Amino acid sequence: MSTCHPLQKVSPLPALQERPILVALAGQPNVGKSTLFNLLTGLHQHVGNWPGKTVERKEGDFSFNGVSYRLVDLPGTYSLTANSPEELIAREFILRERPDVVVAVVDAATLERSLYLVAELLPLPAPVVVALNMMDVARQEGIQVEPEVLQAALGVPVIPMSATRGVGVQELLETVERMARGDLPYAPRLPQIRPDHREVLEAIEERIAGYVPGPYSGDWVALKLLEGDPEMTRMAREALPPERWEEVHAILRAHDDAQVAVASGRYEWIGRMVRAAVTRPRIGQIGLTERLDRWATHPFWGLVILAGILGAVFWLTYTVGAPLQGLLETALVRTLAEGARDLLSGAPAWLSGLLADGIIGGAGAVLTFLPILVIFFAAMAFLEDVGYMARAAYVMDGLMHLIGLHGKSFLPLFLGFGCNVPAILGTRVIESRRARLLTILLAPLVPCTARMAVVVFLAPAFFGPAAPLVAWGLVLLSLATLALVGIALNRALFQGRRSAFIMELPLYHLPNGRTIALSVWERSWAFVRKAGTVILAVSVVIWALSTLPGGDVETSVLAQLGKSLEPVGRLMGLDWRLTVALLSSFIAKENSIATMGVLYRTGEEGLADFLAATYSTATALAFLVVQVLFIPCMATVAAIRQETGAWRWTVFSIGLLLGLSLLAGTVTFQVAMLVK
Amino acid sequence: MADEAAPRSPQPTTPLKALRAGESGIIAELYGGHGLRSRMLTLGLTPGAAVTVLQNYGHGPLIVRVRDTRVALGRREAEKILVRRER
C-alpha cells in the first residue's frame, strides 16, 4: 500500500547501481529484528502474507548514501529445519531469491543461542553480515562481547549495534553495500556435524549425489535428511529412484539420533566462535531480568501482577476508549448519517437509506471501535516490547492447561475482550497448528466490547441496581462456557493431546516508542481496511435485506426471516423483533440496539425504558444470554476463514456458537419462568 | 563436547524436573518425539550443555538457564531431559 518502488521504474538493467540491493533480514525471535527493520524502512513498508501462507511478510525500501535497498523481513525463527511454515519460508527465500546480502541479527546478551541460526545461514548460498545487536542490554546484564574477536573467528563481518538507540546502523549499511559489491573478503568458517556421525553423512551424500534438484545442494540436503527435516525427506523420496531411497531411508532409520549430532555439531562450532569473544558475568551477579522475574513469574505474585496489569488495561480502555467511541458514534456517525440524508433529500429514498443506514450506520459503526482497539493494541505492543508477554504466558500456563491449551494461547484470547478479530489474528504466535485452531474456535466466546455495550445499554433498565451483577454474571458465563467448550473440543477433536510447552523468556528491556507506534499503526490500519471492504459489503447486503422489498422494515425480507424463526425464538421468550435484532448483530454486535430502535420506532433514547415496560425479566435475561454467546460478527467470521484457511472450520464455529447460544438462551428462559 | 559430556565421577542421571531451584546439571540425554527434541536442541538444550534451574516450585512449568538463555518448559517436557547433577 505505502510501498514506493522508485528505482524499479528507472531502469530494468541488472547492474548493481541500477537496481536496489536485495537484503534479507534474518534473526531469531526477541533479538530486535523488527526494531532494526522499522528503523531502516520507517513507514515505507509493505505488509502482506507470504504466498499461500498465513505468515506475515514485510518488506520495505529505503536509500542510504545514494544507494537503494530493498529489505525483506524473514520470519523470526530459532532454526531453519522445516518444523514450521516460518522456517520453511525463511530458507526457501534465501535459496530461491538469492538476496545480495543476508543480515543476521543476533542478540549479544544471548549470543550462543542466537548464533544457532547463523550456523544454519552460513551454508546457504548468500553472503551473511552479522548484526551484533543489543550491545547495551548485554552490558547491563554484565556480559562483554568483543566484535572484532568474533569477526575473526566467524570469518564474516560482525557489526556491533544497538538498534533501539540507532547505534551502529550506518556501519551496518556500509558493510552491506561493500559486501553486495564484492568488495569484502568472505570466508566463513562452517559448522560440521559431530565427528561420530561424519561417515553417516558422507554415506547419504554419496547416495543422493546427482538426484538433488536445484536450488538445493547435495551436502545441505544430506544434513537436513539426518535432521529429519520433513520437507527434504518428502523431496528426496520423490526425487530418488525407489531402490536408492530405500537405501537412504534404511541409513536414516538406523541413525534416528542424528538430529542430536547435527545440533551438537553446531553448538560445538558456536562454542569455538565465542570462546575468546565473550566475558561472562562473575558467579553470583544477578541481572535485572532475574530480579524482576522473582516476582513476575512467581506462581502467586505473578498472577497478582498479571491481574493488576490487565485491570489497568481495562480501566484505560473504559475510561478513555469507551467515551471516545461514544463521541465518534454521536459526533461522527450520526452527524454524517443525518448530513447524508439532508444532502440526498431530493434523491430517491433508497439511495439516502443505503448511504445513511447501510454504509455509514454499518461499516461506520464498526469503525467507531477504533479508539478502544488502539488503546488495546498499544498496551499489548508495549508489554510485548518490554518482554513481559512471555511472562504472562508462563504464569497462565497452569490455568490454560485445564482447557487443553498452554500459556501462549492466553494473550490472543485476552485481546478478544477488545475485539475478537485481533484475537484471531493474534493466534499466529502459537506454533502448534492444533493449539492454534482450538484457540481460534474459542476466541469468539470472549465477550468483546461491542457485546458488552449492548449489555451495558439494556441491563440497567431491566435490573436496576443489580445491573452490574448481571453484567459480571454474563462475562463469567462466557468464560465458563469457553472453558467447558475448550475441554470438550480438546477431547473430541484432538483426543486430549497437548502440544509441548517450551519457550524462551527474553530479557527485559526498555520499550522502543517507534516499534510500538508502528505495531499499533499496522494493526489499526488492517482493521480499518477490513471495515472498508468486507464489513462494508456485508453491511450493504444486510441493509438491503432489511429494506427490500417494500422499503419498510416490518415487511422486509429480514422481518419475514425473523417471523419464520419465531417458533425457535419463543423457546427463549423472544418475539420476532428481538429475533431480528439478534440476527442483525451479525453485522456488528452493537447493531442489535440500533435495529430495535428502528423496529420499535422509538429511536435509541427511550428504547431501554420502552423495552423494560414491554418484556418480562425472563425474556430480557434470555436475550442477553443469547446475545453474548451468539454467532460471531461477520468481521470475526471473515478472520476465522482467513486464519484457518478452511470453510469447514468456519462453518463449524458458527454452528457451534449458534447451538450453544440457543441452548443457553432456552435454559435461561425456562428456568427464569419456573423461578418466577 | 564429547569429553565435556563424560562425567568426572560416574553420577546417575536424573530428570531435569527433579532439580531444585539453584541446582545445576549437565545434560546427558534427551527423550521425546522428533519435533520436541528439535525444539529443545535449537534452544541450546544439547547433550553436554550446562543447565541451571532458576525456578521449580514442584508444580507448574520450570524456568531454566542454558547458554545465557532463560527457557520456560512444562513439567512433562522437563521429564524428558536427563541430567547429571553438578556439585
Shortest alpha-carbon distance between residue B85 and chain A (Å): 18
Q: Give residue A129's pLDDT band: very low, low, confident or very high (50, 70, 90).
A: very high
- What is the spatial distance between Cα A264 and Cα A269, in angstroms, rounded to a whole number? 9
Pick the range with the lowest mean pLDDT from A84-93, A195-204, A358-367.
A358-367
Q: Which residue on chain B is closest to A228 by alpha carbon?
A: B34
Contact B63 A297 (CB under 8 A): yes
A83 touches chain B (CB under 8 A): yes
- How far is CA A674 from each of CA A471, A566, A669, rounded to the nearest angstrom? 22, 21, 9
In a domain, A473, yes or no: no
Taking CB atoms and an 8 Å cutoff, what residues of chain A touch B31? none
B55 vs A: CB within 8 A: yes
Do A388 and A394 form a contact (C-beta atoms < 8 A)?
A: no
CB-based contact A156:A122 (threshold 8 Å): yes
* Shortest distance, CA A77 to any CA of chain B (angstroms): 10
A153 within a domain of the structure (yes/no):
yes
* Total number of domains in chain A: 2
Q: Answer whether residue A341 shows pLDDT above 90.
A: no
Chain A residue closest to B32 (CA)?
A500
Helix (H/G/I), strand (E/B), else coil: A217: coil
Identify the burial level of B6 via C-beta atoms within 10 angstroms of its C-beta, where 0-12 means exposed, 13-18 middle and 19 or more buried. Answer: exposed
Chain A residue whose CA is closest to B48: A264
Instruction: Give which of A97, A386, A501, A318 is closest to B32, Cα–Cα.
Output: A501
The pLDDT of residue A74? 95
Residue A601's pLDDT band (cuts 50, 70, 90): low
Domain check: are A78 and A150 in the same one? yes
Residue A13: pLDDT band (50, 70, 90) is very low
- Best to test chain A binding among B27, B34, B36, B41 (most A CBs inside 10 Å): B41
Closest residue, chain B, to A300 (C-alpha): B57
Is A345 within a domain? no
Query: Using the beta-carbon criterion (under 8 Å), do A267 and B46 form an inter-chain contact?
Result: yes
Question: Nearest residue on chain B to A290, judged by CA atoms?
Answer: B54
CA distance B24 to chain A (A): 13
* C-beta atoms of A502 and B57 within 8 A: no
Residue A483 banded pLDDT, cuts 50, 70, 90: very high
pLDDT of residue A458: 82
Contact A505, B70 (CB under 8 A): yes
If asked whether residues A29 and A60 sit together in one domain, one would say yes
Q: What stretch of H or E contains A73?
A: strand A67-73
- d(CA A662, CA A625) in angstroms, rounded, equals 9
Query: What does the mean pLDDT of chain B come to?
Result: 88
pLDDT in tens, B14-72: 999 999 999 999 999 999 888 889 999 999 999 999 999 999 999 889 999 999 899 99
More confident residue, A521 or A348: A521
- What grid cell was written down for A1? 500500500
A264 and A172, same domain (yes or no)? no
* Mean pLDDT of the A387-392 span: 91
Helices and strands, number each (H, E), in chain A? 35, 10
- Report the C-alpha dihedral over residues A224, A225, A226, A227, rounded to 10 degrees: 50
Q: How far is B14 from chain A (nearest CA, A)?
A: 19
Q: Which three cell numbers stand for residue A168?
A: 551502529
Gap from B10 CA to chain A (nearest CA, Å): 22
Do A202 and A174 have their domain in common? no
Selected for mutation to probe chain A from B1, B24, B42 (highest A CB count within 10 Å) is: B42
Residue A104 bridge partners (DSSP): A26, A130
Compute the average pLDDT of residues A337-350: 82
> How does residue A464 score in pLDDT terms, banded at 50, 70 and 90?
confident
CB contact under 8 A, A503 and B36: no
Q: Could you tell me if residue A650 is inside a domain? A: no
B32 conformational bin, left if phi > 0, alpha if psi -120 to 50, beta if neither: left
Is B11 within 8 Å of chain A by CB? no
Alpha carbon separation from B58 to A373, A499, B79 (Å, rounded): 39, 21, 12
Does B68 lie at the interface with A, CB-CB under 8 angstroms?
A: yes
Interval A313-330 mean pLDDT: 80
Contact A490, A403 (CB under 8 A): yes
- Cis, peptide link before residue A549, omega less than 30° from 0: yes
Q: Which residue did the predictor score with more confidence, A627 or A13?
A: A627
Q: At what angle do helices A617-629 and A576-584 cross, to 10 degrees?
A: 20
What is the rounded average pLDDT of the residues A332-361? 80
Q: Which of A260, A271, A500 sits opposite B39 (nearest CB)?
A: A500
Residue A14, pLDDT > 50, answer no
Work out the percent of chain A whose per-residue pLDDT is above 70: 93
Query: Which residues in chain B are contacts of A196 at CB distance < 8 A?
Result: 2
pLDDT at A282: 60
Q: Does B74 touch chain A (CB under 8 A)?
A: yes
| A97 and A244 assigned to the same domain | no
The residue out of A150, A181, A212 marking a domain boundary is A181
* Closest residue to A502, CB basis, from B1, B43, B47: B43
Pick B47's closest partner by Cβ from A81, A264, A406: A264
Which of B32, B34, B74 comes nearest A501 by C-beta? B74
> Which residues does chain A have within 8 Å of residue B70's beta carbon, measured at their own beta carbons?
289, 293, 504-507
A40 and A174 assigned to the same domain? yes
Q: Is the pLDDT of residue A626 over 70?
A: yes
C-alpha cell at A228: 529429519
- Is A289 touching B (CB cutoff 8 A)? yes
Name the nearest CA neighbour of A65 among A233, A181, A150.
A181
Mutate one of B31, B54, B70, B82 to test the A interface: name it (highest A CB count within 10 A).
Answer: B70
Picking from A225, A259, A260 by the largest number of B CB atoms within 10 A of its own CB, the best residue to mutate is A260
Same domain, A163 and A27: yes
Q: How many CB pairs under 8 A join A and B?
A: 124
Q: Which helix (H) or strand (E) is B66 found in, with range? A: strand B62-66
Task: Report the CATH number of the B2-85 domain.
Answer: 2.30.30.90
A227 to chain B, any CB pair closer than 8 A? The answer is yes
Same domain, residue pair A38 and A170 = yes
Cβ(A672)–Cβ(A618) below 8 Å? yes
Mean pLDDT of chain A: 86
pLDDT for the residue numbered A269: 96
Q: How far is B79 from chain A (nearest CA, A)?
A: 12
Closest Cβ–Cβ partner in B49, B59, B74 for A500: B74
CB A408 within 8 A of CB A503: yes
To the nearest 5 percent, what fractions of chain A are helix, strand and coil?
65, 10, 25
Query: Among A86-95, A146-155, A248-257, A494-503, which stretch is predicted with the lowest mean pLDDT?
Result: A494-503
Nearest-Cα distance to chain A for B28, in Å, is 11
Determine, for residues A501 and B57 on separate chains, whether the beta-carbon distance falls below 8 Å.
no
CATH of residue A226's domain is: 1.10.287.1770
Task: Please classify residue A224 by burial: count the beta carbons closer than 10 Å to its beta carbon, then call 0-12 exposed, 13-18 middle and 19+ buried.
Answer: buried
* CA A57/CA A50 separation, integer angstroms: 5
Residue where a domain terminates, one of A232, A247, A279 = A279
Residues of B in contact with A112 (CB under 8 A): 44, 67-69
Whether A540 contacts A359, CB under 8 Å: yes
How many Å apart are CA A334 and CA A368, to the nearest integer? 11
CA distance B64 to B51: 7
- Which chain A residues are closer than 8 Å to B24 by Cβ? none
Could you count the other beta carbons within 10 Å of the beta carbon of residue A666? 18
* Rg of chain B taking only CA atoms, in angstroms: 12
The verdict on whether omega for the bond into residue A242 sits within 30 degrees of 0, i.e. cis, is no
- Of A78, A110, A297, Cβ closest to residue B55: A297
Give the chain B residue nearest A286 (alpha carbons): B54
Average the pLDDT over A225-238 and give the result: 94
What residue spans define the domains of chain B?
2-85
Of A260, A280, A505, nearest to B70 by CB-CB distance is: A505
Contact: A293, B70; criterion CB under 8 Å:
yes
Residue A210 resides in a domain: yes
Q: A556-577 pLDDT, tens per residue?
A: 888 888 889 988 999 999 988 8
* Angstrom distance (rounded) from CA A147 to CA A288: 24
What integer is the mean pLDDT of A132-156? Answer: 92
**Residue B84 belongs to what H/E stretch?**
strand B81-85
Could you tell me which chain B residue has the CA closest to the CA of A116?
A: B42
3-state helix, strand, coil in chain B (%, to 5): 25, 35, 45
Classify residue A316: in a domain, yes or no. Answer: no
- Confidence at residue A411, expressed as pLDDT on a 0 to 100 scale: 83
Judging contacts by C-beta atoms under 8 Å, the chain B residues touching residue A259 are 34, 37-38, 41
Q: Can you give the pLDDT at residue B51?
A: 96
Q: Are residues A28 and A170 in the same domain?
A: yes
Residue A142 lies in a domain: yes
Residues A93 and A122 in one domain: yes
A55 within domain boundaries: yes
pLDDT at A12 over 60: no
- Report pLDDT for A8: 35
- Is the confidence at residue A105, as pLDDT, over 70? yes
* Chain A residue whose CA is closest to B4: A268
Q: Given A125, A149, A181, which residue is the final one in a domain? A: A181
A193 pLDDT more than 90: yes
Q: Does the structure show a pLDDT above 70 at A6?
A: no
Mean pLDDT value of segment A315-339: 81
Alpha-carbon A305 to chain mean position: 24
CATH label of the domain that carries residue A10: 3.40.50.300
Query: pLDDT tens digit string along A632-668?
Result: 988 899 889 988 888 999 999 999 999 999 999 999 9
CB neighbour list of residue A311: distance below 8 Å, 6 or more residues apart: none
State which amino acid sits at residue A252: L
Look up residue B40 and give its amino acid: M
Q: What's the rounded mean pLDDT across residues A130-158? A: 92
Which three cell numbers, joined as nine digits, stand for A614?
414491554
Cβ-nearest to A394 among B39, B42, B61? B61
Residue A558 contacts residue A546 (beta carbons within 8 Å): yes
Query: Which residue segment(s) compose the domain that A91 sits in?
Result: 6-181
Residues of B in contact with A290 (CB under 8 A): 54
Task: Tell me, yes or no, whether A84 and A166 share the same domain.
Answer: yes
Mind listing the pLDDT tens digit for each residue in A45-75?
A: 888 778 777 678 899 999 999 999 999 999 9
Tell me the three state secondary structure of residue A670: helix
Q: How confident is the model at residue A404 (pLDDT cuts 50, 70, 90)?
A: confident
Residues A140, A90 share a domain: yes
Residue-level pLDDT at A305: 95
Residue by residue, DSSP assigns A294-313 as HHHT-TTHHHHHHHHHHHHH
Q: At what angle do helices A449-463 and A467-494 cross, to 10 degrees?
A: 140
